[in-house]
Amino acid sequence: MPVILAKSAGFCYGVKRAVALAEQTAGEDGGCWMLGDLIHNAHVVEDLRRRGVRKTDRPEEIPAGQTVVLRSHGELRSVLEGLEARGVKTVSATCPNVVRIQRLAAQAESEGRRCVVIGDPNHPEVRGIASWGRDTLVFDGPEAVKMWLAADAEHRKIPLTVVVQTTCIREIFETSCEILKKECTNVKIFDTICNATHQRQSEAAQIAAMVDVMVVVGDRKSANTKHLTEICMKRCPRVVQIERADELSPDLFNGCSVAGLTAGASTPAGIIKEVYAAMSEEIKAAEGKEESFEELLNQSFKTLNNGDRVTGIVTAITPNEVQVDVGAKQAAYIKLSELSDDPNVKPEDLVHVGDEIETWVVRVNDVEGYAELSKKRLDAAKVWENIEQAVEDKTILEGTVTEENKGGIVVSVKGVRVFVPASQSGQPRGADLSAMKGQKVQLRITEVNRARRRVVGSIRSVTEEARKAAQAELWANIEVGKHYTGTVKSMTSYGVFVDIGGVDGMVHISELSWSRIKTPAEVCKVGDTLEVYVISFDPEKHKISLGVKDHSVDPWQVFMDKYKVGDVANVRIVKLMSFGAFAEVVPGVDGLIHISQIADRRIDKPEDVLSEGQMVDVKITAVDEEKKKISLSIRALLTAPAAEADEAPVEE
């Protein structure tokens, strides 16, 4: 009798991570502590104690300076604050999925909303989540929701943020949410059931429907193990939950032809192997007979089931299919249409005889003795698995923007359509998102619903993280006088703001140019690249003053090297006053044309002759090197020819 072992049985990502962190921390000097059980498995907890992880249920017992590993289910907010205040070091082994729910609860509080948790009120994960919001409500199912709504009509008007225990049975969560959506006026719902938990529960239900006996392995305090047992009991007439292999007995398998085995997320692989081996022995004992040569021969063949992943060797290639030996009784083959999406590709271009190939079992026909395989579907399934894993691991993925639609953009990530809301696109509010089409972008996956083929991602989280990293690096290394290449982000009447690597600094209008300018727009525009240097900075206020002018060059010295008294210069009128006009001789150096030197006649005001921005020729009539003042004259150039004519001899 075969034993069907669930592929998802055993440690999930969060539990595996927690145990690894505890083992690593325990190996450091002085060992460490855990508050309560790190995970819900007594055997693992005992093993950790032997490795030097001391256990206590009282936070105040942990001395200051010691290290505590926070359990995978999370901890009360008050406990964390107390540990920090007492100087106790913490290593968070809290499952990333649980951390996300805690943040949602805290966000609900900051938004003035009331958090609702669907789950077991006595479970440490739920108690921890509840502590991150103010007056958090916890409902163990739809009946509790109905009772709360019936208690007071005003409850329907309260803004609610709904989350769910990671191991909750989906039916309980969805039924509870349907009631809240129907009865309440302002509800935000977040499906925070762990993807691994949902996959484990779905697989357990599928196996339980196929077998006569279902064995569930896991600690009796484990919520996810308890839920697995409840799910299996609805589909299998005989279900038993055990912690170790020695709890099995031959009587359990009397009259059975097939048995199933799954395990909770906190069950080590070693225990699962022990149970699997023990089940095989107990089944053999229950049968009470020697296996025949024919049975042994049949067992030597691999059993194929629809949906299995199998690895085989390519034995033959024809124009329409590829034959594969997968070690089963059935002859297995892959149709060309199931080998690749490209209708023009030839099988021999993709595989060769002798190649090892991993495939998906599409259909098994025991009567005619063949099995249809698909490489294309397996490749697609792997992509989805990678996408789902990316949520847990918070992996940064790369994709191409393919389209803009209502509310956001679509990014193709390894062939999977990922919807990115406009608020998560990384673009300013109201920006034209169609301009992003064709761009390669980096993003994180925030939500996956494989059944509905819905994937949601965020570009903003990646760009913000990169920006924060750049900001931290800049503030760590900034110095007065340090040069940066920056981009003009915005402009005002008094200067421009320049991004120098995640941080904006301001260049005052007086530091933009040696020339006198009225507005920054005269020398730059938004998007321009500027070479700037740091004049001053304030890390506490996060302010940076930047300059563009090269102070290593002295404009006065440039003037002195180029001109002397009596020289003629072409200058630009920069400012008109009642007593005359200022003109730029060289960038950064202005001279005064007194009103009496503007024309060869009397004028009432300079603007009668000159205008700002006008280029005119002047004569340098005086230079005060000490005060760095220059006197200029237009009149001297107008009257000089006349004076020379007066001095010329008269011809007779």
Q: Is the pLDDT of residue 120 over 50?
A: yes
The pLDDT tens digits for 621-634 are: 999 988 889 999 99
Which residues 6+ apart lie within 8 Å of 301 measured at CB? 327, 328, 329
pLDDT higher for 10 or 89? 89
Q: Is the pLDDT of residue 302 over 70?
A: no
First to last CA, the chain: 142
Rounded Cα distance, 255 and 212, in Å: 9
On whether the CB atoms of residues 489 and 474 are closer than 8 A, the answer is: no
CATH number for the domain formed by residue range(s) 478-547: 2.40.50.140
CATH number for the domain formed by residue range(s) 555-646: 2.40.50.140
Residues present in the chain in total: 652
On whether the CB atoms of residues 96 and 390 are closer than 8 A, the answer is: no
CA distances from 13 to 446, 544, 572 (A): 17, 44, 72
CATH class of 394-448: mainly beta
pLDDT at res. 29? 62
CATH number for the domain formed by residue range(s) 99-105+115-125+135-193: 3.40.1010.20
Which residues 6+ apart lie within 8 Å of 123 measured at CB? 73, 165, 223
The sign of the CA dihedral 385, 390, 393, 396 is positive
Rounded Cα distance, 606 and 614, in Å: 12
On whether the CB atoms of residues 39 and 14 are closer than 8 A, the answer is: no
Q: Is the pLDDT of residue 651 over 70?
A: no
Rounded Cα distance, 224 and 266, in Å: 9
Average pLDDT over residues 106-112: 93
The pLDDT tens digits for 307-345 are: 888 888 888 888 888 888 887 777 888 888 888 877 777
Rounded Cα distance, 511 and 2, in Å: 82
Q: What percent of the chain has pLDDT over 70?
A: 94
Q: Is the pLDDT of residue 242 over 80?
A: yes
DSSP annotation of 93 reads -
Which residues 6+ apart lie within 8 Å of 29 measured at CB? none
Rounded Cα distance, 114 and 109, in Å: 6
pLDDT at res. 367? 67
pLDDT at res. 296? 46
Rounded Cα distance, 269 and 278, in Å: 14
CA 573 to chain centroid: 56
The pLDDT tens digits for 211-224 are: 989 999 998 888 88
Location of each CATH 2.40.50.140 domain in the chain: 308-372, 394-448, 478-547, 555-646
On whether the CB atoms of residues 607 and 578 are closer than 8 A, the answer is: no
Sheet holding 53-56, edge to edge: 53-56, 32-35, 67-70, 89-92
Location of each CATH 3.40.1010.20 domain in the chain: 1-95+196-289, 99-105+115-125+135-193
Rounded Cα distance, 488 and 530, in Å: 7
The chain-wide mean pLDDT, for the chain, equals 86
pLDDT at res. 173? 94
CA distances from 577 to 472, 500, 600, 646 (A): 49, 39, 19, 34
Sheet holding 187-189, edge to edge: 137-139, 114-118, 160-164, 187-189
Rounded Cα distance, 93 and 15, in Å: 8
Rounded Cα distance, 316 and 186, in Å: 62
User: Please, is 405 exposed, middle or buried when counting C-beta atoms within 10 Å of its C-beta (0-12, 13-18, 19+)?
Assistant: exposed
Which one of 3.40.50.11310, 2.40.50.140, 3.20.20.10, 2.40.40.20 gives the CATH number of domain 308-372? 2.40.50.140
Rounded Cα distance, 516 and 531, in Å: 19
For residue 410, the tally of other CB atoms under 10 A from its CB is 18
Instruction: Give backbone dihedrals phi and psi of 463, rounded to 5 degrees, phi first.
Output: -65, -35
C-alpha closest to that of 262 among 310, 306, 201, 308: 201
In this prediction, residue 401 has a pLDDT band, given cuts at 50, 70 and 90, of very high
b/e per residue 536-570 (b: at least 16 CB within 10 A): ebeeeeeebbbbbbeeeeebeebbeeebeeeeebe
Rounded Cα distance, 614 and 599, in Å: 15
On whether the CB atoms of residues 545 and 506 are closer than 8 A, the answer is: yes
Q: Is the pLDDT of residue 286 over 70?
A: no
pLDDT higher for 453 or 111? 111
pLDDT at res. 652? 29
**Full 3-state SS string of 170-239:** HHHHHHHHHHHHHHCCCEEECCCCCHHHHHHHHHHHHHHCCCCEEEEECCCCCHHHHHHHHHHHCCCCCE
1-95+196-289 has CATH 3.40.190.10 classification: no
In this prediction, residue 289 has a pLDDT band, given cuts at 50, 70 and 90, of very low
pLDDT at res. 298? 52
Average pLDDT over residues 121-148: 93
The pLDDT tens digits for 519-572 are: 898 888 998 988 899 999 988 888 899 988 766 677 888 899 889 999 999 999
pLDDT at res. 463? 84
Q: Is the pLDDT of residue 290 over 80?
A: no
pLDDT at res. 293? 44
pLDDT at res. 295? 52
C-alpha closest to that of 313 among 369, 362, 351: 351
Average pLDDT over residues 385-389: 84
The pTM of this model reads: 0.41
pLDDT higher for 30 or 468? 468
Rounded Cα distance, 504 and 490, in Å: 10
In this prediction, residue 20 has a pLDDT band, given cuts at 50, 70 and 90, of confident
Put residue 57 in one of left, alpha, beta given phi > 0 → left and psi -120 to 50 → alpha.
Answer: alpha
* Amino acid identity for residue 83 in this structure: L
DSSP annotation of 410 reads E
Q: Is the pLDDT of residue 371 over 60?
A: yes
CA 389 to chain centroid: 13
pLDDT at res. 552? 62
What residues are paired with 317 via a beta bridge?
A: 322
Q: Which residue of the set 46, 81, 84, 125 is catalytic?
A: 125
* Amino acid identity for residue 169 in this structure: I
464 catalytic, yes or no? Answer: no
pLDDT at res. 338? 87
The pLDDT tens digits for 464-498 are: 888 888 888 888 888 888 889 989 989 998 999 99
CA 276 to chain centroid: 39
Rounded Cα distance, 252 and 272, in Å: 18
